[in-house]
Amino acid sequence: MDIAREDLSLFLNACAAATAQREFYSSEEEQRVSLTFLHEYICGNYRTLYARTLAAGINHHNQAEVIFQLLSTGKACPPDFRATENQLITAALRQLPSQRAWKLLQRLQRSRVNNRRTRKVIEGFIQSRNDLPFDAVKYRHKVKASMQHAHMKSTGEVSRFLFEGLKKPFETPLLEQYRTAHYSKEALYDLPYSIAEGFAAKHGVSRKDFLKRIEGKLTERERLRVQNSSEGKIQLNPEKLSLTELCSYVLGLSLQERRSRGEELMSFLTRATRATLRRAGRLPLPEHKVAAILDNSYSSSGSSMKQNRPLAVAMSADFLLGASCSQYRAFWTHPVGNPLLNHPKGQTYLAERLLDALEWGAQTVLVVSDACENDVPDAFEQTYQAYRRMGGKASIIHLSPVFDAETYQVKPLLKDLPALGIRAGEDLATTLAFARFSARETTLLELETYLQSRVDALIGQLERQP
Amino acid sequence: MSTDTLNLTGLRAAPSQVCGAFRLVPLLRETPCLDVRMTPERYQQAYSQVKLDDGTEYWAFIPHGYILDWAKGNEATVSMGGQLKRATQGKSPPEWFTIQTHHRMVKRQNANRVRLLPLHLSMEAFLGLHFGGPDIAWPEYSKYAKRYGLGFRSETAVSGRGLYRFEEALRTFEIHEGQVGVLIYTAEKLASVFVVPTPQDYRLLHQTLLDDFYGELIYRYAVWLNHQELPVKLDVKNARSLSDLRSALQEARTLWAEFSTQGMGLDLLGRSIQREVIYKPAQLRLERFMTDLDLSTTNTIGERLVRSNGEVLYLKTFQLGADQTKRAWWLSQLAKHHWHIDTTAQALNLTRDEVVRGMQRAGFGYLLNPELLKRATRKR
């Protein structure tokens, strides 16, 4: 059964990092094919465990992929597990961010996955939405596709809005706003930002005026996105933002701007760090010297699809560890004076940093790197083995933000220590909690128990909701 | 022409990075270069014509040239971005076939600046090798050869964009701090060397390696072969402390770099070369070279800029294919014996007919008297 444990922990790690987007070392196609294979393999061989991974803290992209796989291979589900699987799918679908959930439903339609269970799941999801008119306006085509796909009876105004067009007035205010926005400039400011943007262009409203008046309607991520086009005039609330996304934003600014807005950016980052720690609780790290080896080599610049993402993950981990550990020190592969001025450059240079960290006296060393070591290749492994032979006790944890398409896993730095996948610094606590299941010593049973506890928590949440 | 050896004086290697068949070894400069700069200049035309001083013309696809700036003896530095440039003109869409005319391979622009066309400078010398043809009107040669010499010479090469996975290798290559050059290995064989004066220049020029041209052998190796796994062993068996580990690591790094330049680059580095000085800016020498034409191994042409103390400031090489080497070899053999076919045959321990057939195979049949050719290639 050891193979099962290994497969599963490999899969969970991959699903924490992979997003089927282009990476520095592999193309989008390679990533997608590799990840899809992994899903099909695990779904085919360990279906019950596969369904449970929905609760295990894998990223949203993979949650959607798991739901899709489960729904499209419904026949393979053992009868006694069917009820749990349904509960899991329902709960996970409701927890997904709305854009991802709607996209998944549309994908089900396009891939012609249409069985009684799928229809029921879609219907249940649509009925559980708090503000369906809002969804109908913002995700019009997707909602329409899902309703059609689930054979839902067309009743009510939302159906009329989706299927009959905009000729007659609506009673629901938002739908009516959407109708009038076609003719009136004033009406567009009550619509969601992304929809209003199109109408603003249609009516020729200047960007400046538009942003000024729509400000109240912006979500936090939209606020971050329009920071540059509004020249920083839109207010940000860093507490509500993802720390990694904020780091990505900082890394996207020019060095000069980072220098001139240094204090402001730093306060954003520290506030976001504090908020993240408040939400996720303390990091499960012992009270001793903790060092982090953080990779800011050129490969941490990611790809055009995820610009600077690996570096942003390392940077957010740096902030979280700094705020959470009493004795902490960061060792960047290319040392940086001011954390704000970090940028991806140079070769991957990990072994020397490991020695630096150990010399400082670190008892826990966290490595955040894509593990493509090239100065010198394999030196980290050899240094680590020699250190162990010398009787060194420090524990080493390797976190990697990159899924390696070629080997179907998150590439490990050390042969006997699997790497932990991580997509965002905020997941650090969950990832570290999962760390012990990745290690070779644990059994499948322990892993199953862990998964079951997460499943119970997720389903419990579903039951608490109406 | 004078002889010298090809070396990397003033440079040291760092651990290599691999991708597909390519192994790229970064080169770092031991003492920073402050007085010479090299910047790229893009050309957008489909074809280029270079008018040379002796009335011959060189035609090629030339995507870019280099601008070489240097300080005069007493000035300390040439600063980054300190050069005045003409404002870029508004881009008009290029016509379907455009030709740009350059004057000379190396063209002086002002007192401290020349424009040079990389690799074409050496390729021109290669094509122009013994271009005048036979200097004595031996009856064995055709009228054409007597009248026009070699007349029209052409060679083909592969663009960097045509090399399988080369673009990816360059994209994923992590440029070292202070890197000024790169050794390009294909299937563990040193294929090309590229060195520029300063790290800033290198960052600008790294991607232009894709636009340069490469020998056909590199193309074949890139398609068919992969790089070897060359594990680096750290000498940590007797390590007792962290500082031991650190010194082992340092040692491995140096050994690895030495191996990649001295062990693996023997085909090219240390070979004796025939060189010709093209330009002498200040205390520097811009020269083009060709390795001794050894038919048993690959041969290289190239150009370099060196200081009087031997430090290499600029170096770019092109690996000749076997057929290209053969052509140059026949020409040089003939030239050595005043283009007399019988003497050449005697020196090479061949028969007259064998020499004629060899020349025809190399593509020089048009130089020979048709009667002679007919007799030599007649079925035996």
Confidence of residue A364 (pLDDT cuts 50, 70, 90): very high
Tell me the pLDDT tens digit for each residue of A239-282: 889 999 999 999 999 999 999 999 999 999 999 999 999 988 88
Closest by alpha carbon to B67, among B281, B361, B330? B281
Rounded to 10 degrees, the C-alpha dihedral A383/A389/A394/A400 comes to 40
Tell me the pLDDT tens digit for each residue of B287-304: 999 998 888 888 999 999
Residue with tokens 């398609």: B223
* More confidently predicted of B5 and B84: B5
Confidence of residue B76 (pLDDT cuts 50, 70, 90): very low
Q: Is the pLDDT confidence value at A389 over 80?
A: yes
B30 touches chain A (CB under 8 A): no
Q: Kindly state the average pLDDT of the residues A370-389.
A: 91
Mean pLDDT of chain B: 86
Binary contact (B232, A377; C-beta < 8 A): yes
Tell me the pLDDT tens digit for each residue of B19-58: 989 999 999 999 998 889 898 888 877 788 888 888 888 8
- Would you state the pLDDT for residue A86? 95
| B171–chain A nearest CA distance, Å | 9
Whether the ω angle into residue A113 lies within 30 degrees of 0, i.e. cis, is no
Q: Kindly state the average pLDDT of the residues A70-97.
A: 94
Instruction: Show which of residues 354-413 on chain A sit within 8 Å of chain B, judged by CB atoms.
Output: 355, 358-359, 374-379, 382-383, 385-387, 390
Binary contact (B245, A375; C-beta < 8 A): no
* Residue percentage of chain B with pLDDT more than 90: 40
B338 touches chain A (CB under 8 A): no
Q: Is the pLDDT confidence value at A3 over 90?
A: no
Q: How far apart are the first and last CA of chain A?
A: 39
Which among B172, B240, B242 has the least Cβ separation from residue A355?
B242
Q: Is the pLDDT confidence value at B232 over 50?
A: yes
Q: Kindly state the average pLDDT of the residues B75-96.
A: 52
Distances from the Cα of A283 to the Cα of A160, A366, A417, A436, A447, angstroms: 50, 12, 21, 14, 21
Residue pair B366/B356 in contact (Cβ under 8 Å)? The answer is no
Binary contact (A374, B15; C-beta < 8 A): yes
A27 touches chain B (CB under 8 A): no
Binary contact (B246, A352; C-beta < 8 A): yes
Q: Which two tokens stand for residue B42?
A: 């893009």
Binary contact (A379, B174; C-beta < 8 A): no
Closest by alpha carbon to A317, among A293, A297, A341? A293
- Would you state the pLDDT for residue A63? 96
Residues whose CB is less than 8 angstroms from the CB of residue A42 and which lie 6 or more positions away in sequence, other chains included: A7, A8, A11, A49, A50, A53
- What is d(CA B115, CA B125) in angstroms, rounded to the nearest whole number? 17
- What is d(CA B290, CA B127) in angstroms, rounded to the nearest whole number? 12
A415 HSE (CA, 13 A, CB side): 6
Q: Kindly state the average pLDDT of the residues A350-375.
A: 93
Q: What is the 3-state secondary structure (H, E, C) of chain B?
A: CEEEECCCCCEEECCCEEECCEEEEEEEECCCCCCEEEEEEECCCCEEEEECCCCCEEEECCCEEEEEEECCCCCCCCCCCCCCCCCCCCCCCCCCCCEEEEECCEEEEECCEEEECCCHHHHHHHHCCCCCCCCCCCCCECHHHHHHCCCCCCCCCEEHHHCCCHHHHHHHCCCCCCEEEEEEEECCEEEEEEECCCHHHHHHHHHHHHHCEECHHHHHHHHHCCCCCCCCCCCCCCCCCHHHHHHHHHHHHHHHHHHHHHHCCCCCCCCEEEEEEEECCCCEEEEEEEECCCCCCCEEEEEEEEECCCCEEEEEEEEECHHHHHHHHHHHHHHHCCCCHHHHHHHHCCCHHHHHHHHHHCCCHHHECHHHHHHHHCCC
Mutate to test the interface with A, among B206, B249, B260 (most CBs of A within 10 A): B249
| A201–chain B nearest CA distance, Å | 29
- Would you state the pLDDT for residue B200? 92
* Residue percentage of chain A with pLDDT more than 90: 74
* More confidently predicted of A424 and B227: A424
Q: How far apart are the first and last CA of chain B?
A: 43
Binary contact (B242, A377; C-beta < 8 A): no
Nearest 5°: phi and psi at A242? -75, 135
Binary contact (A390, B240; C-beta < 8 A): yes
Distances from the Cα of A114 to the Cα of A50, A121, A136, A146, A150, angstroms: 21, 11, 22, 11, 8
Q: Kindly state the average pLDDT of the residues B138-155.
A: 87
Q: Kindly state the average pLDDT of the residues A404-430.
A: 91
Q: Which two tokens stand for residue B190?
A: 């040193």
A307 HSE (CA, 13 A, CB side): 9
Confidence of residue A466 (pLDDT cuts 50, 70, 90): low
Q: Kindly state the average pLDDT of the residues A301-307.
A: 93
Q: Kindly state the average pLDDT of the residues B238-244.
A: 89
Residues in chain A: 466
Tell me the pLDDT tens digit for each residue of A193-245: 999 999 999 999 998 899 989 988 888 889 888 887 777 678 888 888 999 99
Binary contact (B234, A299; C-beta < 8 A): no
Q: Is the pLDDT confidence value at B324 over 80?
A: yes
Distances from the Cα of A370 to the Cα of A25, A250, A429, B72, B101, angstroms: 10, 21, 19, 47, 48
Confidence of residue B84 (pLDDT cuts 50, 70, 90): low
Q: Which two tokens stand for residue A402?
A: 């990159």
Confidence of residue B78 (pLDDT cuts 50, 70, 90): low
Q: Is the pLDDT confidence value at B83 over 70?
A: no
Binary contact (A346, B232; C-beta < 8 A): no
B129 touches chain A (CB under 8 A): no
Nearest 5°: phi and psi at A241? -90, 160
- Would you state the pLDDT for residue B376? 87
* ipTM of model: 0.87
Among all residues of chain A, which has the CA nearest to that of B16?
A: A374
Domains in chain A, ordered, with CATH?
Answer: 279-442 (3.40.50)
